[in-house]
Structure 1
Amino acid sequence: MNKHYHTVVIGGGCLGAACAFSVQRRLGNKRGKVAIIEKKVLGAGLSSRHSAIVRSANASPMAARMAKIATQYWKNLKPLWGVNIPYEQSGAIWIADNTTGSDSESWATLEQMLQQEGIDFAMLAHRDVMDLSRQALKTVPDEMYYYEPDVLQLDSPQILNAIQTAAKKNRINVLEHCDVIDFELTGQGISALFTSQGKIFAEHVINAAGAWSSELFAGIGLNIPVALEPVYAANFLVSVHDIPEGMPIIADYVNQAYFRRWRGSILHMHQPRSRNVKDIARSFSRTAMNPEGANVIYDALSFNVTHQQLDNYLGKVINRFPKIGKPVYAGGYHSFFDITPDLKFILGADTQFTNLYHCLGAGQALKYAPIFGEIIADLITGDGVILNSIDINEFSIARFSNNDISRYWQTNALKQNSL
């Protein structure tokens, strides 16, 4: 029997779920139903391996504005999703190189812009860094330090539990182990989806499929440039005396590493997205050549961390936290960022199909999930609640309309996207 929905969301990660909850809440019980189509199980993709750091600092003023609103949403999620999620307001110390004048100027400009957006982000003296880290952190004269006190730390398992609970509370029809095979087009819209569980009719379609988007929509002529960039996460068992409880998250852009105290005496770390144009181009080339496509995310071998990666991380831990000595490895895993050529989201209405909307996080999905859900709900229902104060034009898929993504990898092309 064919199924009919007001809105069908493709992808059951944190962004797809957030869109489904927000749209269904706006629709109520009488105006239509929302379904999520998920090829595995709800939250099983990259959302299950997220570091779950929620911060507002971003090189794009509009992205920073959205992140600030999202942070407030995470603190009181129940009005949006019907559930709340525990969080810690750890704050974050940002570490930047101060050996060149251009770097110093860029961070000073960032500080000014964020403060204009009402985001608490300010330079710290070295002695203040030592006080905040309780003497655990190494500081050096040729580094700059900034403090963002409102940064939150969530826990991925609790987020997944909340997503699954909220799906039931909001009466979302979740179709798990369901593959989208093709689309039925009518005029300038998508009228139905052909799936492994039958034909599904939809008035509106939300693409929250992440790295699967490129292959999924290529058959109807859409160019959605998303690739996978590997990221490695590692946990180290350290003495509670070496990494004090309550230490802020350390966003170390000198060593290209995030550090956070996690679950007792565990020091968790992972690298940020690469801003090197060669690395980004390599990720797109690797994705295009991989016959498994985005399904590599579910490959059991992709979870392994090599000795070389582990040694690299150990060196960064010892360099930044000299009191630790040699920490004990306590497990790790291999994950991915789903990135775009310019490292910005793809957010908003499609330019070819009138009832298709994109919600792709470009490696930053979780922190923005609540506000992205509200923005997509604004577009579909026409309520305009959030879009009255947010301009999402810079994140439109229209910027990739000429299919030439190589221009984003020219020298200094990504400098403005340094966070």
Structure 2
Amino acid sequence: MPELPDRAQVVIIGGGVVGCSLAYHLVKRGWRDVLLLERKRLTSGTTWHAAGLVGQLRATQNLTRLAQYTTALYRGLEAETGQPTGFRRCGSLAIATTPGRLEELARGAAMASCFGLEAQMLGATEAAARWPQMHAGDVLGGVFLPEDGYTSPIDTTQALAKGARQGGARILENLRVTRILHAHGAVTGVETDQGVVQAEYVVNCAGLWARELAAQCGVAVPLHAAEHFYVVTEPIPGLPHDLPVLRDPDSRTYVKPEQGKLLIGWFEEVAKPWGMRGVPEDFEFGHLPDDFEHIAPLLELAQKRIPALAETGIRLFFNGPESFTPDDRYLLGEAPELKRAFVAAGFNSIGIQSAGGAGKVLADWIVDGHPPMDLWDVDIRRVMPFQRNRRYLQDRTVETLGLLYDMHWPFRQPASARGVRRTPLHGALAAAGACFGETAGWERANWFAPPGMAPRYEYSYGRQNWFEASATEHRAVREAVGLFDLSSFAKFVVEGRDAEAVLNRICANDVAVPPGRVVYTQWLNERGGIEADVTVTREAADRYLVVTAAASQTRDLAWLRRHIPEDARCAAFDTTSGLATIAVMGPQSRALLSRLTDADLSNAAFPFATSQVIDLAYARLRATRITYVGELGWELYMPSEFAAGVHQVLVEAGADLGLRHAGYHALNSLRIEKAYRHWGHDIGEEDTPLEAGLGFALAWGKPGGFIGREALLPKRGQPLPKRLVVVTLEDPEPLLYHNEPIFRDGVLVGRTTSAMFGHTIGRSIALGYVENAEGVTPDWLASGRFEILVGTRHVAATAALKPPYDPAGARIRA
């Protein structure tokens, strides 16, 4: 056995397909001192028993881009390395047996056109012709992706490992990493059962063991194993050799042709978590006990879909573990808790089709010091610390395996492991009819059911049961006054003698303002992309309050802390849990608040974008005049123990002013009518403030500049080939969600990034990016005929740079 070296530039823990892909791509980037350590033998954890499906169409643009890269990589890997991979391009067919599923497939196929992925919508007869062995009497249609296929998991991993070795990487098997070593907030190496290896970078690709290994060094890697079942049939006479992979999500079934046999697997609605007390250290090429009773109902459905199965024997009944994350998206990137500690884990049964792209972008991230594209969908910085909780993970995993093939309805909420984080107003909002959704573990009121209606979602692609209730909330904010519980928003205090200098370098806007001023700003990376979208309130000469989105809490705090110089007299701490936030918004908000405070709320005494500490009812709180809905209003920040009392008096005092509770669906429809951006949808690290129409928030001339300024300077004042625009449908019936293709004069020019029905303007409205090599200008937008592809239908639309509602912003300064 090769000797364990004393040090390496990079240590990769885990020899599955993802770890080997990372090693392969690191040497492709020119790094030679790469050491991969595998506790047993390559692929022996979960890779070896994967079905090997290679599909490209994923839920989002960037995940699809990674899957497309994976397919292209596997297609040429054998020719490059000399190692057979078993890759075969046979296409894949997904079928629909319900109208909702057909709509889901159609919208997915439309999204695929945004990034050049061929996806053919088929009628029922065409779908049946692609898979003549299936019963198609109940099939309504399907989508065929000709570039999809399958590969051999073991052979493909060995090919990646061979390519890594050819590039200089060392791969050692039968060597267990027992601990990740660290000091002063950064990794220093690994401890193994055969000695210590010093390292600049450590990457946790340990699969089933990744959670426990990460926990030893304080990193949260929330994943949990579940049992996954498939069968392999005996040979089926007459089975065509060119059948595509078949996906029947309404029956929770996938079918892979395999040398005259069929591999049939399932993602059942109620899964079986496994390894609740940890995964055994000696687990290698492991099978779990058969449980035919558990999977029998789905096998019966598969036999109805493929009648030949009823007369075919089963050669193999397999049950093996796969690891799942709480949101069914894998975990990738540098851990926020520990510098130079990277993670690639939790691949939710799609590790084979994700490994090529994941390995490439993670290698780029390590080598270049930043991700090569917006990876927020899978970025480990979305994880909340509580999510490492074993009981939470076990309970959520019961649901997450099945979600892979469940209906991906708009606004769908998880049903398991709920009630983790509750605001101080939770009980009062529930009594008011709130229907709660979940974000970052928070229970948040998405809409309020009127009397006689149950606060429960009824999902569809059309107008869901809460549509009119949310419309009423929306109109109350526009016409009277609405109350939002925004306590889940993340809040950080930045304090110290150097707080101004530190924040002014991080923020693109100028925060060297008098106390009591509020600054809207972005945090940029060195390439000019948007890392965060925040408001900064100067509370005192040496103290600021930063407010950002709930989902960005971990990411933004890590970004902030890592950009505070070590010698700065400045500290940042999270005060989210200590401060409740109630937003009072609408033309009657001043009248309502004036009933409860002696403070002067007039424009002269309390102008827009200012903040004051006031007495309101029995509380002393911070009132900030700012808005995310485009109306006159205030956000009220107070210690959490005061929130219930303040809420009660607001409700009582606002009854005759038309006060209504409003939820996050109304917040979304209101903000989109005003074209207010949302980080993670409309803006991200690949988008610049200039492209996003946020140039007004750039303080070009402030002393010391800001991170990203040098990258943006050459683009200042120049025509921009990419711009964020507001797109409004002309037909009031169709609904938009996001990732719908945008056409101008019949040519694909962009895609939507977020959308909602605008109840004030009476039709669906979206934000989205469009591109034109000569520049996206008002004239170019006005001179074209725009359409949005909604499923299979092209719908006429208008596109503009300014919002359709109150474009001058007069109402927020009323």
Secondary structure of the equivalent of 1:393?
A: coil
Q: Is the 8 A contact 2:105 2:142 kept in 1?
A: no
Tell me, in whole angstroms, the C-alpha distance in 2 between the residues paired with 1:296 and 1:197: 16
- Look up the equivalent residue of 1:291 and give its one-letter code: R
Deviations 1:303-322 (A, max 9, x none): x4344357445423321112
**Identity %, equivalent residues:** 18
User: AA paired with 1:357?
Assistant: F
2:254 pairs with 1:258? yes
Equivalent residue, structure 2, for 1:105: 103
Equivalence for 2:638: none
The one of 334, 342, 354 equivalent to 1:368 is 354
Which residue of structure 2 lines up, in the alignment, with residue 20 of structure 1?
Answer: 23
1:231-250 correspondence runs (5 A) = 231-241=228-238, 243-250=239-246
For 1:382-401, list aligned pairs within 5 A. 382=368, 388=372, 390-401=373-384
Question: Residues 185 and 338 of structure 2 are in contact (CA less than 8 Å); yes or no, is this contact kept in structure 1?
Answer: yes
Aligned-pair Cα RMSD in Å: 2.9
Question: Which residue of structure 2 lines up, in the alignment, with residue 7 of structure 1?
Answer: 10
Separation of aligned partners in 2, 1:327 and 1:295 = 38
Question: Which of 308, 312, 316 in structure 1 is aligned with 2:301?
Answer: 316
Contact conserved, 2:204 with 2:214, CA < 8 A, in 1?
Answer: no
TM-score of the two chains, using structure 2 as the length reference: 0.45
Q: Deviations over 1:267-320 (max 9, x none)?
A: 111114x5x5x64xx63xx54xx3342658538551x43443574454233211
> Any residues of structure 2 matched to 1:235-384 within 5 Å, and which?
235-241=232-238, 243-263=239-259, 265-272=260-267, 276=269, 279=271, 283=273, 286-287=274-275, 290-293=276-279, 295=281, 298=284, 300=286, 302=288, 304-308=289-293, 311-312=296-297, 314-360=299-345, 361-382=347-368
18 and 79 in structure 1: CA distance in 2 versus 1, 3 angstrom threshold: farther
Distance 1:267 1:318, change over 3 A: same
Q: Residue type matched to 2:264 in 1?
A: M
Q: Is the 8 A contact 2:17 2:352 kept in 1?
A: yes
Question: Which digits, 9 at most, give the CA deviation of each residue in 1:224-259, with x for residues without a partner?
Answer: 101112111211124332x32211111111211111
Question: Tell me, what secondary structure is at the counterpart of 2:42?
Answer: coil
- Structure 1 stretches lacking a partner, 5+ long: none
User: Which stretch shifts more, 334-343 or 358-367?
Assistant: 358-367
Q: Distance in 2 between matches of 1:89 and 1:79?
A: 15
Contact 2:233 2:263 in 1 (8 A): yes
Question: CA, structure 1 residues 78+222, in 2 after alignment: closer, same or farther (shift >3 Å)?
Answer: same
TM-score norm. by structure 1 comes to 0.85
Kindly report which structure 2 residues correspond to 1:46-195, keeping only aligned pairs within 5 A, or say none. Answer: 46-77=46-77, 85-99=85-99, 102-133=100-131, 135-141=132-138, 143-195=140-192
Q: Which of 194, 197, 209 does residue 206 from structure 2 map onto?
A: 209
Letter in 1 for 2:113: Q
1:90–1:152 contact (8 Å) kept in structure 2: yes
2:470 matched residue in structure 1: none
- Pair 1:70–1:300, CA change in 2 (3 A): closer
Structure 1 match to 2:216: 219
Asked if structure 1 preserves the Cα contact closer than 8 Å seen for 2:45 and 2:286, the reply is no
Matching residue's letter, 1:351: P
Aligned to 2:630: none
Letter in 1 for 2:359: G
The worse-fitting range, judged by mean Cα deviation, of 170-179 and 397-406 is 397-406
Q: Which structure has more RCO (C-alpha within 8 Å, separation ≥ 6)? A: 1
Cα distance in 1, alignment partners of residues 282 and 230 from structure 2: 17
- Secondary structure of the structure 1 residue equivalent to 2:251: coil
Q: Distance in 2 between matches of 1:324 and 1:211?
A: 33
What is the aligned length?
Answer: 395
Cα distance 1:299–1:136, how it changes in 2: closer, same or farther (>3 A)? closer
Using the alignment, how far apart are the partners of 1:197 and 1:295 within structure 2?
16
Residue type matched to 1:61 in 2? Q
Whole-Å separation in 2 of the counterparts to 1:214 and 1:157: 24
Q: Which amino acid aligns with 2:48?
A: S
1:129-186 C-alpha deviation (Å, 9 max, x unpaired): 22222x2111134643111111121123422442453354233222222222223212
CA contact (8 A) 2:44 2:285 kept: no
Structure number with greater Rg is 2
Post-superposition shift, 1:81? 6.3
Q: In structure 2, do the counterparts of structure 1 residues 2 and 20 end up closer, same or farther at CA, with 3 Å as the change threshold?
A: closer
Report the residue type matching 1:355 in the other structure. R
Whether the aligned pair in 1 keeps the contact of 2:63 and 2:377 (CA below 8 Å) is no
Deviation by residue 1:182-237 (Cα, 9 ceiling, x = unmatched)? 23212221102111010111111111111211111112221210111211121112
SS at match of 1:77: helix
- Determine if contact 1:234/1:310 at 8 Å carries over to the other structure: no
CA distance in 1, matches of 2:120, 2:247: 14
Aligned-partner residue type, residue 255 of structure 1: S
Q: CA, structure 1 residues 376+96, in 2 after alignment: closer, same or farther (shift >3 Å)?
A: same
For 2:314 and 2:83, locate their aligned partners in 1 and report how far apart those are by CA, in whole Å.
Answer: 35
Displacement of 1:78 in angstroms is 6.1
For the structure 1 residues 200 and 208, does the alpha-carbon distance in structure 2 shift closer, same or farther, using more than 3 Å as the test?
Answer: same
Unmatched 5+ stretches in structure 2: 401-410, 415-458, 460-736, 738-814
Match of 1:229 among 226, 243, 247: 226
Displacement of 1:52 in angstroms is: 0.9
- Asked if 2 retains the 8 angstrom alpha-carbon contact of 1:226 and 1:339, the reply is yes
Q: Distance in 1 between matches of 2:184 and 2:10?
A: 18
Counterparts of 2:37 and 2:49, CA distance in 1? 20
